[in-house]
Chains A and B, each alone.
Chain A
Amino acid sequence: DAGITQSPRYKITETGRQVTLMCHQTWSHSYMFWYRQDLGHGLRLIYYSAAADITDKGEVPDGYVVSRSKTENFPLTLESATRSQTSVYFCASSVTQRGEAPLHFGNGTRLTVT
Chain B
Amino acid sequence: SQQGEEDPQALSIQEGENATMNCSYKTSINNLQWYRQNSGRGLVHLILIRSNEREKHSGRLRVTLDTSKKSSSLLITASRAADTASYFCATDSGTYSGGGADGLTFGKGTHLIIQP
Interface residue range, chain A = 20 to 34
Nearest-Cβ distance from residue B40 to partner chain A, whole angstroms: 8
Q: Which residues of A contact B102 (CB under 8 A)?
A: 97-98
B-side interface residues, number (CB < 8 Å): 31
Find out whether the CB atom of A99 lies under 8 angstroms from the CB atom of B94.
Answer: yes
Number of A-B contacts (CB under 8 A): 79
Find out whether the CB atom of A108 lies under 8 angstroms from the CB atom of B103.
Answer: no
Q: Which residues of B contact A106 (CB under 8 A)?
A: 42
- Provided the pairs A42-B2, A45-B101, A56-B101 are in contact, do residues A99 and B91 lie with their beta carbons within 8 angstroms? yes
Find out whether the CB atom of B96 lies under 8 angstroms from the CB atom of A42.
Answer: no
Nearest-Cβ distance from residue B37 to partner chain A, whole angstroms: 8
Find out whether the CB atom of B30 lies under 8 angstroms from the CB atom of A98.
Answer: yes
B positions within 8 Å CB-CB of A? 1-2, 29-33, 35, 40-45, 48, 50, 88, 90-92, 94, 96, 101-109
Listed from nearest, the 8 A-B pairs whose CB atoms lie closest are A99-B92, A105-B42, A102-B45, A42-B108, A43-B106, A99-B31, A58-B101, A105-B43
A positions within 8 Å CB-CB of B? 4, 33, 35, 40-45, 48, 56-59, 90, 92, 97-108
